[in-house]
Amino acid sequence: MRSEDTYIIEECLNNFAASEIYEIKGEAFYEMPLDYCINDSWLLTGKADLLIFEDDGVTIVDFKTNAKIHQDLLEIYRLQVLTYALAISEIYGIKPKRAIIASLYEGNFIEVDTAPNVLAECRDQILSIINNIESGTFSGKALDTAACGYCAYKNLLCKLL
């Protein structure tokens, strides 16, 4: 492993250990697979990086190791962590206490609102994307080159969001 890689890993681990997330009391599950059936016909699958089941709800953490999270990328990560919160609330009937995008390298921990109206908006956004897939207006093929520096799907997905 290169010394640069070692530095990045150490930085991420140190930032996590120094964060409030590290101190949350509850039953923790890392890389927890989720299968969430939405609209009785579509199955969304994923793995939540960290779920901490506390007495008064669940904390959902999505770890990111990017050098910097740009605003466009933050919106995609926000949808991802909210989808986990929505799935957890519906699968387990447990209220999401908080959802966090943990930018480990930056040491920046971004809390995302998980109020019921926000989760309802997330559900609507997912259903809109599904509708575009079903109607054929969503192209699942990645661009040959990324339009922005972050994601080959940016111009496809972000137009839908």
Whole-number Å distance between alpha carbons of 25 and 58 = 11
Whole-number Å distance between alpha carbons of 117 and 96 = 13
Domain at 3-160, CATH class: alpha beta
Average pLDDT over residues 128-132: 88
Query: Which stretch of 57-66, 102-111, 134-143 has the lowest confidence by average pLDDT?
Result: 134-143
Kindly tell me if the per-residue pLDDT of 161 is higher than 70. no
Report field, pTM of the whole predicted structure over 0.75: yes
Domain ranges of the chain: 3-160
What is the per-residue pLDDT across 3-51, written as a single tens digit (0 to 9) for each? 777 888 898 899 999 999 999 999 999 999 999 999 888 899 999 999 9
What is the per-residue pLDDT across 60-75, written as a single tens digit (0 to 9) for each? 999 988 777 777 778 8
Whole-number Å distance between alpha carbons of 95 and 88 = 8
